[in-house]
């Protein structure tokens, strides 16, 4: 039986090396919003990225919101198919999954995540996936982490840890989670995912 403890992993650039061109994705969203008359000038964004602006819209014409989600999903799935798995991830996750609840947090959409995890041979190790459409663009940067923890109320905050890219540290601190940086040599605390087992 597993101990009631949990580990949240960033997907992008921790478990998988994913080269999502955020500028290209934002350009896709911006063009869509201009085409459909939600934006008329770059100043209309009021300091938000096109993705953040789209997430803040409460009123869409007909099915535009769904169509935009599909377009972003197509863009991300293409990139996800080229994702490379960290070489130590399958072995480490296999061992950790025997003792911990494992959750993956991603900035990408759900169907692309499942495909990428499946291609990497690591989907079966995760109990729960928090996809980008549930939290990216939300005013609070901690929403993704909170969704992960809410799924398992029997695990206290002190029993969770978060393994993420260095920029994720701020959200972890705001949530009161132990954080281990991975993936950016000058800032990382884990040189290899195997270090989690130590």
pLDDT tens for 150-198 read 999 999 999 999 999 888 889 999 999 999 988 666 555 677 777 776 5
What pLDDT is stored for residue 175 in this prediction? 92
Query: Is 34's pLDDT higher than 70?
Result: yes
Backbone angles phi, psi at 17, to 5 degrees: -90, 110
Contact status, residue 152 vs residue 102, Cβ threshold 8 Å: no
Backbone angles phi, psi at 176, to 5 degrees: 75, 30
The CATH label, of 3.40.50.1980, 3.40.50.11740, 2.70.180.20, 3.40.50.1000, for the domain at 6-18+84-197 is 3.40.50.1000
Write out the residue limits of the CATH 3.40.50.1000 domain(s) in the chain: 6-18+84-197
The four Cα atoms 56, 36, 78, 108 give a dihedral, to 10 degrees, of 10
Backbone angles phi, psi at 162, to 5 degrees: -130, 125
């Amino acid at each position: 039986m597993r101990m009631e403890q949990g580990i949240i992993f960033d997907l992008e650039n921790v478990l998988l090396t994913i080269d999502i061109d955020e500028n290209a994705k934002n350009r896709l969203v911006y063009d869509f919003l201009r085409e459909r008359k939600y934006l008329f000038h770059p100043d209309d964004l009021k300091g938000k990225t096109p993705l953040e602006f789209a997430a803040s819209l409460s009123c869409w014409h007909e099915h535009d919101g769904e169509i935009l989600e599909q377009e972003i999903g197509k863009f991300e799935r293409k990139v996800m198919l080229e994702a490379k798995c960290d070489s130590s991830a399958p072995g480490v996750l296999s061992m950790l999954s025997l003792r911990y609840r494992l959750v993956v947090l991603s900035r990408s959409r759900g169907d692309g995540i499942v495909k990428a995890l499946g291609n990497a041979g690591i989907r079966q190790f995760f109990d729960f996936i928090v996809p980008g459409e549930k939290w990216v663009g939300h005013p609070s940067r901690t929403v993704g982490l909170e969704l992960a923890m809410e799924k398992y109320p029997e695990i206290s905050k002190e029993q969770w840890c978060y393994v993420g890219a260095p920029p994720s540290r701020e959200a972890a601190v705001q949530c009161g989670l132990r954080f281990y940086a991975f993936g950016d040599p000058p800032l990382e605390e884990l040189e290899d995912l195997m270090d989690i087992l130590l």
